[in-house]
Structure 1
Amino acid sequence: MQKIIGIDEVGYGSWAGPLYICALKFLEPPNFKLFDSKKISEKKRQLLFPLIEEISEYRIGIASVEEINTLGLAQAYKKALLRATEEIEGKFIIDGKKPKYFDCEAIIKGDSIIQEISAASIIAKVTRDNYMQEISSTFPEYKLNKNKGYGTKEHQEAIKKHGFSEMHRVIYDIKKYL
């Protein structure tokens, strides 16, 4: 029987930073309950991360800001998805809608139903959040450590005051929010 590989992304709607996609399968069943990464605290995600790592095999595909700005979000997503899934075998189940170019099952809100997708969601979120924390020191005025690149009021105000950085996705019409 093929192992299930859960797939989820983090950062799709972000205004800054890369897009992360995780493809994950369990090597042994978790002895703890998992939930969608957006429904649990950052502290709990950080605690779950090493527990998930210990019992799983996973790959992360990243689409850089440069790729997103050059190719557009849909094509950059495709590249990240293919990177995440190129060296992992099993039955792919993705959270959300099924991409036309990728052989998988898709489940809306799968990150709340399928444990492998929940785990992929947590791995992707913690990994991306840690990266945003790291780059925040290079771009302190945007407080990326707090907003993770999303369009919070504080982030909007920082863009109004400082303009865009090299970490911003200029393909978006962010100015309509300012």
Structure 2
Amino acid sequence: MAGVDEAGRGPLAGPVAAAAVILDPRNLPRGLNDSKLLTREAREILFEDIMARALAVGVAFASAAEIDSINIRQATFEAMRRALFALSIPPRYVLIDGNDPPPRLSCPGEAIVKGDGAIASIAAASIIAKVTRDRLMARLCARFPVYGFSQHAGYGTPAHLAAIAQHGPSPYHRLSFSPFKAR
């Protein structure tokens, strides 16, 4: 069974990330929880522990351009399907954090509201997706330092909005999101 979750639906910049994780029930990492409830340090430690103990991990993205083209919901579903496809072990069943599972999954599955706080494999996927996306945003910050992506991961903070007002969008901004959509 694989747990699936995403990170980065709300930011103004960067991709949406999804992770799929198949845990070994005899070798579970301790301290799994919804990534939003953990400190950055705890997420980093758990990321390494999950990667060392999991039977399989798949991570995938849908780019800002894809988000602009097909919308954030469909892009999230696409990233989830890609993450499942990236698993080295095909799952027989999938548990997805959220209200509804993506269409066209390769196996049966179900959505679990607030699953990232209740199901170990979904919590693990939440952590993997969040840490992977945060690391990517830090790399993008090195290429586009004026936006401060490593501080806010692309979310619409006052500093980020001020940088957008001064410099305009980067190639990684979601032009279908406000404040760009209004232009």
Aligned to 2:17: 20
Flag structure 1 segments of 5+ consecutive residues without an equivalent: none
Aligned to 1:5: 2
Q: Compare 105-114 and 75-84 and name the one that shifted more.
A: 75-84
Aligned to 1:98: 100
Aligned to 1:80: 79
Which amino acid in 2 is paired with 1:167?
Y
Match of 2:143, SS? Answer: coil
Pick aligned residue for 1:52 from 50, 53, 66: 50
| 127 and 173 in structure 1: CA distance in 2 versus 1, 3 angstrom threshold | same
Matches within 5 A, 1:115-154: 115-154=120-159
Which amino acid in 2 is paired with 1:42?
R
Matches within 5 A, 1:156-167: 156-167=161-172
Deviations 1:56-96 (A, max 9, x none): 11111210122112222233222212111124313211111
TM-score by length of 1: 0.91
Aligned to 1:113: 118
Alpha-carbon contact 2:29-2:50 (below 8 Å) kept: no
Pick aligned residue for 1:40 from 17, 38, 41: 38
Q: Which portions of structure 1, spanning 4 or more consecutive aligned residues, are displaced by more than 3 angstroms?
A: none
Give the alignment's Cα RMSD to 1 decimal. Answer: 1.7
Matches within 5 A, 1:165-176: 165-175=170-180
Match of 2:68, SS? Answer: helix
Number of residue-to-residue matches in the alignment: 174
Give the superposition deviation at 1:158. 1.1
Alpha-carbon contact 1:98-1:104 (below 8 Å) kept: no
Q: Measure the CA separation in 2 of the matches of 1:81 and 1:161.
A: 34
TM-score by length of 2: 0.88
| 100 and 66 in structure 1: CA distance in 2 versus 1, 3 angstrom threshold | closer
Match of 1:174, SS? Answer: coil
| Residue identity (%) | 38
Q: Measure the CA separation in 2 of the matches of 1:160 and 1:51.
A: 40
Alpha-carbon contact 1:69-1:169 (below 8 Å) kept: yes
Q: Measure the CA separation in 1 of the matches of 2:120 and 2:47.
A: 14
Q: Measure the CA separation in 2 of the matches of 1:159 and 1:169.
A: 12
Q: Compare 164-173 and 69-78 and name the one that shifted more.
A: 69-78
